[in-house]
């Protein structure tokens, strides 16, 4: 038995065959319950996932990270005893120690959702241009401002069962991050940020979403939010 038997890690994966087994095996040392959604990968990701003991769900075609997260959350919510749900990247950037800290914060009843932030504590790991873009994104987003977020596009999140059950991600691509923030801002759920450490490797940098595309997504969501007012 593990003290984290009631926690499920949800990992969306697309063509992560090089690293996914190491990421999952490392996470399972602390969190025994992991579902990896292979989002239509063209490589051997599924084979590597199956070797880890994690639960594997496969999309027959690539639908995007938002859709993979929604699939994974739905799967995890259906599992007996599941109470806490963490979204966790497949490229090795996230740290299980941060998930532990975030889960314990929720257990203490301090919030319903905890979002990771790269900017509460300045550790120098975030490349300077990425730092500028992400901080700007948090500033221009009306919903991020409403929640007083410092990092609106961090993929490391932990939700309790109520929050996870109410969340519906409809934007399949990377715009899902802004959609989640918008949902939280319009809900009565208690939202908190905690500092997290992001490990930027050569692999994760190469796989990362382009900064220009990220800015375009933020502005698109921001315009939609304003248009609904």
The CB-side HSE value for 49 (13 A sphere, CA atoms) comes to 25
Per DSSP (E only), the strands in 14-139 are 34-39, 55-59, 84-87, 113-117
- The pLDDT score that the predictor gives to residue 219 is 53
Compute the distance between CA of residue 126 and CA of residue 197 in angstroms, rounded to an integer. 9
Mean pLDDT calculated for residue range 94-112: 97
Mean pLDDT calculated for residue range 171-199: 90
Task: Specify whether the CB–CB gap between 130 and 97 falls below 8 A.
Answer: no
Compute the distance between CA of residue 169 and CA of residue 177 in angstroms, rounded to an integer. 9
Between 172 and 83, name the one with better pLDDT: 83
- The pLDDT score that the predictor gives to residue 129 is 43
Q: How confident is the model at residue 123 (pLDDT cuts 50, 70, 90)?
A: low
- The pLDDT score that the predictor gives to residue 177 is 86
- The pLDDT score that the predictor gives to residue 120 is 75
Nearest of 54, 45, 55 to residue 20 by alpha carbon: 45
Mean pLDDT calculated for residue range 179-196: 94
Compute the distance between CA of residue 133 and CA of residue 97 in angstroms, rounded to an integer. 26
- The pLDDT score that the predictor gives to residue 128 is 45
Place of tokens 């595309």: 213
* The token pair that represents 24 in the structure block: 């999952």
What are the backbone angles phi and psi of residue 101, rounded to the nearest 5°? -60, -40
Mean pLDDT calculated for residue range 67-95: 97
Compute the distance between CA of residue 118 and CA of residue 136 in angstroms, rounded to an integer. 13
- The pLDDT score that the predictor gives to residue 46 is 98
Cβ–Cβ contacts within 10 Å for residue 227, how many?
7
- The pLDDT score that the predictor gives to residue 207 is 65
Provide the β-strand partners of residue 216: none
Q: Which of 1-10, 154-163, 168-177 has the lowest mean pLDDT?
A: 168-177
157-160 and 84-87: which strand pairing? antiparallel
Percent of the chain with pLDDT over 90: 65
Phi/psi zone of residue 78: left (φ > 0), alpha (ψ -120 to 50 degrees), beta?
Answer: alpha
- Tell whether the model's pLDDT for residue 140 goes beyond 80: no
* The token pair that represents 64 in the structure block: 């995007």
């Amino acid at each position: 038995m593990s003290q984290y038997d009631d926690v499920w890690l949800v990992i969306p994966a697309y063509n992560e065959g090089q690293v996914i087994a190491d990421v999952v095996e490392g996470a399972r040392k602390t969190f025994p319950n992991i579902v990896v959604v292979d989002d239509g990968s063209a490589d051997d990701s599924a084979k590597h996932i199956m070797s880890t003991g994690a639960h594997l769900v496969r999309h027959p075609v690539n639908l995007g990270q938002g859709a993979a997260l929604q699939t994974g959350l739905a799967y995890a919510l259906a599992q007996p005893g599941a109470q806490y749900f963490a979204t966790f990247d497949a490229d090795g950037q996230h740290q299980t120690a941060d998930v532990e800290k975030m889960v314990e914060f929720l257990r203490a009843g301090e919030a319903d959702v905890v979002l990771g932030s790269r900017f509460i504590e300045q550790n120098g790991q975030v490349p300077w241009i990425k730092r500028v873009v992400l901080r700007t994104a948090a500033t221009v987003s009306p919903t991020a401002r409403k929640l007083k977020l410092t990092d609106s596009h961090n993929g490391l999140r932990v939700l309790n069962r109520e929050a996870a059950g109410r969340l519906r991600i409809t934007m399949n691509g990377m715009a899902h991050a802004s959609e989640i923030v918008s949902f939280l801002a319009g809900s009565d759920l208690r939202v908190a940020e905690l500092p997290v450490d992001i490990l930027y490797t050569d692999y994760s940098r190469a796989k990362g979403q382009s900064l220009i595309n990220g800015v375009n997504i933020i502005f698109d969501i921001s315009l939609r939010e304003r248009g609904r007012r």
